[in-house]
Amino acid sequence: MGVLMKKKNLDSGLGTRETRELLIDRSRRIAMAAFDDDLRALERILGLESCEGKDRKTDYPGLLSGAFEVARRASRPDLLGTNVADRALVHQWLEYRLVHLSSPSCREGKHKMLQELNNYLADQVYMVGNYLTLADILLYFCLHPIMVEMTVLEREELDCLTRWFDHIQHQPEVRQHLPPVIVPRNKLYS
């Protein structure tokens, strides 16, 4: 009887292979929709005609290639980095966003990832170099909903990340359609 119960429990719920595949497929579709929105916003920022009517999956197979293609179409190679080391760092931060911030597991480890970004930004104005890159723009898009949900106290605890976020959101061409996140100039709590 115990073996039958265990088999029945495995066949129902989240343990089945089909259910796991459906959840993975759903996560991919959600991520692709978010990437699509980010690429559309990036096109608007750069003053490009959007590829609305086109099938983005064939034009841009992913966020990285799509973002690089949008920067190329806009004749803005500076957004990719001005030297080999900076280009590698832009690529690294976009990969970080894909792996850590765009995945469903982000919810569980969100605070740790935000703390990592906060530590990195302790002595940085931008994610890469001393100028705005795709890393800044696309991380801003990804972090905006998270920052909106945070309390003022939570944002104060992540002071370097909040400073960077506020700096990026005040770039006139970047924020566009997103509502501003209010960041007090003085600490409210001590």
List, for residues 12-56, the tens digit of each pLDDT value. 444 566 655 554 455 455 445 556 777 787 888 777 776 554 544
Per-residue pLDDT at 57: 41
Per-residue pLDDT at 18: 64
Per-residue pLDDT at 71: 87
Reported confidence tier of residue 66, pLDDT bands at 50, 70, 90: confident
Per-residue pLDDT at 81: 93
* Helix/strand/coil percent split, the chain, to 5: 70, 0, 30
Per-residue pLDDT at 7: 41
Q: Which long-range contacts (CB under 8 A, 24 or more apart) does 183-187 make?
A: 183/155, 184/152, 187/156
**pLDDT at position 6 over 50:** no
List, for residues 111-163, the tens digit of each pLDDT value. 888 999 999 999 999 999 999 999 999 999 989 989 999 998 889 999 999 99
Per-residue pLDDT at 5: 42
**pLDDT at position 90 over 60:** yes
Q: Are 67 and 81 in contact (CB under 8 A)?
A: no
